[in-house]
Amino acid sequence: MNLTLILFFGFVALLLLALGWALRKPRNARNLPTDPHALEEGQRHVDYLPQIRQALAAADYDFLSRRASRGALQRVRKDRRGIALAYLAALRGNFQSLLRMARVIAVLSPEVAAAHEFERLRLTTKFAWQYQMIRWKLMAGFAPLPQLDGLSALVSGLSVRMEAALKELGERAALAAELTSSMNRRGLSAV
């Protein structure tokens, strides 16, 4: 039993190390051709997904391979891979800002349960895993469009949930302010 317990805690420690490694900022993020935060300014990641799909589409590469030289095709692939990596980095930044917002909402919300915290951990782990897999595939020269769509959908779903939670908090704050105001009016009129 003691050996089983040691193996279990060793496995948990290994998973935590892997999660920490997966959530670290990539070393070459500063070498990306475009600033990942530039994609977030004014528009959300969903607005750019069709262009990323088009840039990574096999049909687009087939068309270019018939029309362009081999060197030009390699340059285009490299540039498009860099753009897709910048998009992926922006998606990660968006996810992290949503997680920060979730933490703030959790502090402000009185009924946050351990289940919510576990859900946030599950989403973080799922995102980190998918992010790294897509990043490795892009760096290897593959175009993981379905996985990129799934990752984008995960971030979009979290964004919708955060907007709903903020709306609920706003409604509660308005109700509390209204109750306080009505109690104050009753107290003033009684005196």
Domain range enclosing 143 = 32-190
Asked, for residue 94, whether it belongs to a domain, the answer is yes
Asked, for residue 27, whether it belongs to a domain, the answer is no
**CA-CA-CA-CA torsion sign (64, 69, 71, 72):** negative
Asked, for residue 25, whether it belongs to a domain, the answer is no
CB 166 within 8 A of CB 155: no
Q: Helix or strand or coil: residue 191?
A: coil
Asked, for residue 37, whether it belongs to a domain, the answer is yes
pLDDT band of residue 110 (cuts 50, 70, 90) is: low
Asked, for residue 76, whether it belongs to a domain, the answer is yes
Q: Helix or strand or coil: residue 174?
A: helix
The count of structural domains within the chain is: 1
CB 52 within 8 A of CB 148: yes
Lowest mean pLDDT among 26-35, 51-60, 122-131: 26-35
Asked, for residue 128, whether it belongs to a domain, the answer is yes
Does this model's pTM top 0.75? My answer is no
159-171 pLDDT tens trace:
888 788 778 777 7
**CA-CA-CA-CA torsion sign (106, 112, 113, 118):** negative
Q: What is the pLDDT of residue 111?
A: 64
Asked, for residue 2, whether it belongs to a domain, the answer is no
Asked, for residue 6, whether it belongs to a domain, the answer is no
Question: What average pLDDT does the segment 149-154 reach?
Answer: 86
Q: What is the pLDDT of residue 132?
A: 92
